[in-house]
Amino acid sequence: MADATVAMPAAGAAAPRRKSSEGAGAAPWLLASPALLLFIGLLLVPLLLTVLLSFHAFDGARGVLPDTTWRNYVEVFSDGYYHEIFLRTGGLALGVTLLCIVFGVPETLILARMKSPWRALFLIVILGPLLISVVVRTLGWAILFGNNGLINSSLMSLGITSEPVRLMFSMTGVAIALTHVLIPFMVISVWANLQKLDPQVENAGLSLGASPLKVFWRVMLPQLLPGILSGGIIVFALSASAFATPALLGGRKLKVVATAAYDEFLNTLNWPLGATIAMLLLLANVVIILGANRWVERRFSQVFDA
Amino acid sequence: MRKNGLFSLLYHAVFIGFIVAPLVVVMLVSFTSKGFISMPFTEGFSLRWFRAILDSTEIIRAFWFSLWLGLASASIAILLAVPGALALTRYKFPGRGVLMGFFMSPLMIPHVVLGVAFLRFFTTINVTGSFVWLAATHVIVIIPYALRLVLSSATGLDRDAERAALSLGASRFTAFRRVVLPLILPGVAGGWMLAFIQSFDELTMTVFVATPGTTTLPVAMYNQIAQTIDPLVAAVATVLIVGTLAVMLIMDRLVGLDRVLIGKN
């Protein structure tokens, strides 16, 4: 059916517009159907298959058995080996999140105070690495770490340490590298929050006699809390599910959830157990992201209503 | 806002140094003349490792594979994202929010989980090692990025020119091709490029479903680094960095990098 009529604007009057809901009906679904079909077939179905897989049994000699059992979940929840892995991953994610907040928030504020073109330039320098593969960034850290790597040789030649600091194959190194990989997300989140703030509020605080530190603590920081928390949620979720950086810099002994799933799937070939770990990771991710986001939105609804 | 004091600028300098340090180090190491990881300052710069890339058939093959995979995936993703974006911005219908969330969901799913799920799916229908199916999985992972950029161009689009064309007798498709498409082209082009980059860079999910015949460049580099770090892989990484910078420049001209990286304000 052709759109035959377009209202002609009368002189001096606003043109009456057609409603944007153009007899919705089937049209939007038709337009979205190719993508929708792909997603249902290649996203929902595989995820469902994986859930089912996690309930199968596994025998070292016979492979995957099509029984249905809770055994894999019981094993993951009761075995100390997996407790250690989950704790290590949780601790890593928490540490990286804190580092990103402590170091990323001040930098974003400093950026906001810059004049163009510096502000845009440095924003690109900080966010650009997101477009470079994580393998490249992790390789850089692998070169920097290492007993004869750049960091240790500099520290020792400056006399700060007498022995090489163990960074490669240590959680410290993994945390530093992950912070490097994920801090742009914190900057993005706080930056977006900053754009919504009224710059005059800061000036008002100063003109009323508060010291700059007090203005930062009592005026700026509370307003930035939603952005900091949203960024923190993203960083936490991404570091908890990180694979390449812990795999390359942590080594075989320091497993995190993602590398443990890889291990079960591609080394031990215990697919049901690998699927179980993957499903638990997915569940944790969804719960953290959706739950925490909802809490932030409710708690800070005034900021989002702006 | 107040200006930055000396302390702030110093902090900023250290921060920027932290951000670029790994990348600079990779690029420096790739110019070493020695046969192991070292800085080129003492012995002199050399291009031997870049020449060595040309001799490495595995790397070359992985590079071309990643290139074709990226081209295919990004193109399919855009072909699906454009009608999807039009559906989401032009119509109010029940389930619109759910549909949008569904299309954006790959952003929330850990790539490890996606890799496991895709691998399970592939072996169930016996298509491991297929380029087409691998491309399809990349499409799923990169569509949110393409969709986001196309949406930023399509949302709030002034429909008057389109309505004028329709009232003058143009078919819906002609009106789309000659009027709407040129208007949303920056978002479409930017979305395509961002999708391509995400596909080219993808590692974690691809590690699960790659086979010796379908190895992407990041997977090849990952396998190499897991064994031993040598200047060859650093040289490859340098090529990737420079290539990404070039694409970023083009994206900036087309869409504006800040819109790609942060989103429309």
Q: For residue A131, what are its two tokens?
A: 């477009």
Q: Name the residue among A34, A28, A1 with its Cα closest to residue B91.
A: A28
Alpha carbons B36 and B229: distance in angstroms, whole number: 8
How much is the pLDDT for A246? 96
Query: Per-residue pLDDT averaged across A53-71, rounded?
Result: 81
Region of poorest pLDDT, from A29-38, A154-163, B158-167: A154-163
Q: What's the pLDDT band for A24 if we cut at 50, 70, 90?
A: low
d(CA A223, CA A195): 11
Give the number of beta-carbon pairs within 8 Å between A and B. 271
Specify the pLDDT at position A62.
67
Residue A12 has pLDDT above 70, yes or no: no
B129: left (phi over 0), alpha (psi -120 to 50) or beta: left
For the cut 70, the answer to whether the pLDDT of residue A3 exceeds it is no
- Does residue B36 lie in a domain region? no
Q: What is the model's pLDDT at position B1?
A: 55
Suggest the residue from A101, A132, A153 to mutate for an interface test with chain B (most B CBs closer than 10 A). Answer: A132
Are B82 and B185 in contact by the 8 Å Cβ rule? The answer is no
A22 pLDDT more than 80: no
CA distance B210 to chain A (A): 12
| pLDDT band, very low/low/confident/very high, at A299 (cuts 50, 70, 90) | confident
Is B23 in CB contact (< 8 Å) with chain A? yes
Determine the residue among B119, B120, B133 to mutate to test chain A binding: the one whose Cβ has the most chain A Cβ atoms within 10 Å.
B120
Q: Note whether residue A202 is domain-resident.
A: yes
pLDDT, residue A1, reads: 41
Position A215: which residue type? V
What CATH code is carried by the domain that includes residue B92?
A: 1.10.3720.10
Look up the CATH number of the domain holding residue A213: 1.10.3720.10
pLDDT at A23: 55
Task: Please give the pLDDT value at position A181.
Answer: 96
In a domain, A72, yes or no: yes
User: From residue A110, how far is each of A117, A123, A182, A292 by CA, in Å?
Assistant: 14, 11, 19, 27
Q: Of the candidates A93, A92, A48, A54, which has an alpha carbon nearest to the alpha carbon of residue A76?
A: A54
Residue B102 counted as domain residue:
yes
Give, in degrees to the nearest 5, the angle at Cα B138 between B137 and B143. 105
The token pair that represents A161 in the structure block? 């340490």
Contact B121 A45 (CB under 8 A): yes
Structural domain including B251 reads: 58-261
Given an 8 Å threshold on Cβ–Cβ distance, is B201 in contact with A47? no
Q: Which one has a higher pLDDT value, B237 or A161?
A: B237
Cβ-Cβ contacts under 8 Å, A127 against chain B: 261-262
Q: How confident is the model at residue A9 (pLDDT cuts 50, 70, 90)?
A: very low
Q: How confident is the model at residue A302 (pLDDT cuts 50, 70, 90)?
A: low
Q: At A59, which helix (H) or strand (E)?
A: strand A57-59
Question: From the CB of residue B43, how many other CB atoms can be counted at a distance below 10 Å?
Answer: 11
Provide the CA B49 distance to its chain's centre, in angstroms: 26
What pLDDT was estimated at residue A2?
43
User: What is the domain count for chain B?
Assistant: 1
- Per-residue pLDDT at A14: 46
Q: Which residues of B touch A281 (CB under 8 A)?
A: 110, 112-113
Residues A147, A150, A151: CA angle, nearest 5 degrees: 75
- The answer to the question of residue B205 being in a domain is yes
Cα dist from B165 to B32, B66, B153, B168, whole Å: 61, 41, 20, 5
Higher pLDDT, A67 or B63: B63
Residues 54-73 of B with CB under 8 A from A: none
Domain count, chain A: 1
Burial class (CB in 10 A: 0-12, 13-18, 19+), B109: buried
Question: What residues in chain B have per-residue pLDDT under 50?
Answer: 264-265
pLDDT at position A5 over 50:
no
What range defines the domain where residue A166 resides? 42-304
Average predicted confidence (pLDDT) for chain A: 85
> Residue holding tokens 């960091």?
A151
Q: Which residues of A touch B118 (CB under 8 A)?
A: 42, 46
In a domain, B226, yes or no: yes
Q: Looking at the domain assignment, is residue A206 inside a domain?
A: yes
φ/ψ (deg, to 5) at A57: -100, 165
- The answer to whether the Cα torsion of B251, B252, B257, B258 is positive or negative is negative
Residue A44, pLDDT > 90, answer yes
Does the residue A27 lie in any domain? no
* pLDDT at res. A305: 56
Among the listed residues B183, B193, B217, the one whose alpha carbon sits nearest the alpha carbon of residue B203: B217
pLDDT: is A199 or B31 the higher one? B31
Instruction: Read off the DSSP letter of residue B255.
Output: T
Contact predicate B77/B146, CB 8 Å: yes
Residue A255 lies inside a defined structural domain of this protein: yes
CA A280/CA A276 separation, integer angstroms: 6
Q: What is the pLDDT of residue A218?
A: 84
pLDDT category of residue A129 using cuts at 50, 70 and 90: very high
What local confidence, expressed as pLDDT, does residue B252 receive?
85
Kindly report the nearest CA distance between residue B179 and chain A, in angstroms: 15
Q: Is B26 on the interface with A (CB under 8 A)?
A: yes
The Cα–Cα gap between A51 and A287 comes to: 17
A23 domain-assigned: no
Read off the pLDDT of each residue in A67-79 and give the average, rounded to a whole number.
86
End-to-end CA distance of chain B: 19
Q: Note the pLDDT of residue B42.
A: 72
> Is residue B105 situated within a structural domain?
yes
